[in-house]
Amino acid sequence: MRKLAFLSNDPPKSRLLAALLAAVVAALALAPLLFPGAKALAVAAKILVFVLLVASYDLLLGYTGIVSFAHTMFFGIGAYGIAIACTVLGPSWSAIGLGLMAALTTSALLALLIGLFSLRVRAIFFAMVTLAVASATQTLASQLSAWTGGEDGLNFRVPIELSAGYRWLETPLPGLGFSVPADGRLLAYWGLFAVVSASFLILLRVVNSPFGRVLQAIRENAFRAEAIGFRTTLYRTQAVVIAALFATLAGALLALWLRYNGPDTSLSFELMLDILLMVVIGGMGTMYGAWLGSALFLLAQNYLQTALASLGQPLVDLVGLVVGSDANRILVGVLSWSVELLSPQRWLLWLGILFVLSVYYFPSGIVGRLR
């Protein structure tokens, strides 16, 4: 069991699941070498950020049974903390440190207040309170344009070591038939991977500690946990604070990678829905589901349109051939309907179908089913 100490003695418990997780982690670690291009690297970086964000939300929803709609608020606080600090103080490591500390402190205080004053009520009322607070925060970020840039957001610079102009090796790194420039962008990506991996292992340790066992007991039966002596409100509040801190860190990482932040980037309600979908797809209360759920959802979100265009083009060519022949109208109608259905503009429809199928065949999520 000592070999699994870094996994908090909580292995995947399935060879197929272990292989899938290893493939996803290896692909993300080697993404700059395996998948050339700015878009591929940007998608890989976003997956890493959402792994941390989804894992922190799984601590609330999957392990504690708390439905919160304010998780993106903490995510946005982290992103704005970095953006405002780098805008006001300039592109320096001290600015990043001050911005991150200010964001973490703000998130911890807000999470503490929300937890202490709202977790005493029923779950549905807590969800409504968090939704109201998150909406107010998004409105506030849009109105305080002097600090947040309003709807346009903030563009800022980062330290030279994280920019594409910085060279930490004179020769490019060899890839699969091409060379990868050893610049600051590559350094930033691998730094992002290291921080996310370390943070995930910390969260995995939290949920497998005695504290995590109490959270699961509260999730299963809060009245029984209260009856045997656990102060459920205190434990729930601690879970909210811990999840908020890691969500804040995820927001700071996203801002550093994008070098931009705005209300739609880190505070939108659509982002909250995406997080919920990733948790459900990966598997609630599994923690490992953050890797698979984030990867599948974001790959579908970014490449489903391209895949539909590739599938639909042969049908378009076939329709052109059939229309010019003596084929019957039924065949032409079927082909035309298929072309319309596979149109890249229908990608949201197919994303919804994939989500419904995943919930139907994997009701406990991919990780839950494979375990």
Q: Which two tokens stand for residue 249?
A: 């860190």
**Other CB atoms within 10 A of residue 345 CB:** 9
Half-sphere exposure of residue 350: CA atoms within 13 angstroms, side-chain side: 19
- Give me the pLDDT at residue 350, please: 80
Strand partners, 183: 167
- Give me the pLDDT at residue 176, please: 73
Residue with tokens 């995930």: 200
How many whole angstroms separate alpha carbon 217 and alpha carbon 63? 9
User: Cα(first)–Cα(last) distance of the chain, in Å?
Assistant: 18
List the domains of the chain with CATH numbers. 31-285 (1.10.3470)
Q: Which two tokens stand for residue 173?
A: 């790194």
Asked if residues 130 and 118 have their Cβ atoms less than 8 Å apart, the reply is yes
Residue with tokens 């600051």: 184
- Give me the pLDDT at residue 43, please: 95
- Give me the pLDDT at residue 92, please: 93
How many whole angstroms separate alpha carbon 221 and alpha carbon 349? 38
Q: At what angle do helices 232-258 and 93-118 cross, to 10 degrees?
A: 150
- Give me the pLDDT at residue 307, please: 79
Question: b vs e for 346-367, b when ≥16 Cβ sit within 10 Å of the residue's Cβ?
Answer: bbeebbeeebeebeeebebbbb
- Give me the pLDDT at residue 1, please: 45
Asked if residues 293 and 281 have their Cβ atoms less than 8 Å apart, the reply is yes
Asked if residues 211 and 59 have their Cβ atoms less than 8 Å apart, the reply is no
Residues contacting 237, CB < 8 A, separation 6+: 111, 112, 115, 116, 119
Asked if residues 290 and 63 have their Cβ atoms less than 8 Å apart, the reply is no
Residue 183 DSSP one-character state? B
Residues contacting 344, CB < 8 A, separation 6+: 305, 306, 308, 309, 312
How many whole angstroms separate alpha carbon 23 and alpha carbon 138? 37
Question: Is pTM beyond 0.85 here?
Answer: yes
- Give me the pLDDT at residue 78, please: 97
How many whole angstroms separate alpha carbon 185 and alpha carbon 163? 5
Question: b vs e for 123-141, b when ≥16 Cβ sit within 10 Å of the residue's Cβ?
Answer: eeebbebbbebbeebbeeb
Query: pLDDT by residue for the chain (371 residues), tens digit each?
Result: 455 667 787 888 889 999 999 999 999 999 998 888 889 999 999 999 999 999 999 999 999 988 889 999 999 999 999 999 999 999 999 999 999 999 999 999 999 998 887 766 666 778 888 888 999 999 999 898 889 998 999 999 999 999 888 887 777 878 777 778 788 889 999 999 999 999 999 999 999 999 999 999 999 988 898 898 888 889 999 999 999 999 999 999 999 999 999 999 999 989 999 999 999 999 999 999 999 999 999 998 888 877 777 766 665 555 565 555 545 566 656 666 666 677 767 777 887 888 888 778 888 889 988 88
Helices (H) and strands (E) counted in the chain, each on its own, are: 17, 4
How many whole angstroms separate alpha carbon 286 and alpha carbon 368? 7
How many whole angstroms separate alpha carbon 277 and alpha carbon 146? 34
Residue from 111, 102, 52 nearest 239 by CA: 111
Distances (CA, A) of 318 to 303, 313, 327: 24, 9, 12
Burial of residue 300 (number of CB atoms within 10 Å: 0-12, 13-18, 19+): middle
Residue 327 DSSP one-character state? -
Residue from 248, 245, 198 nearest 82 by CA: 248
Q: What is the dihedral of CA 181, 183, 188, 191, to 10 degrees?
A: 80
| Encoded amino acid at 254, one letter | L
Angle (CA) 265-182-302 rounded to 5° is 35
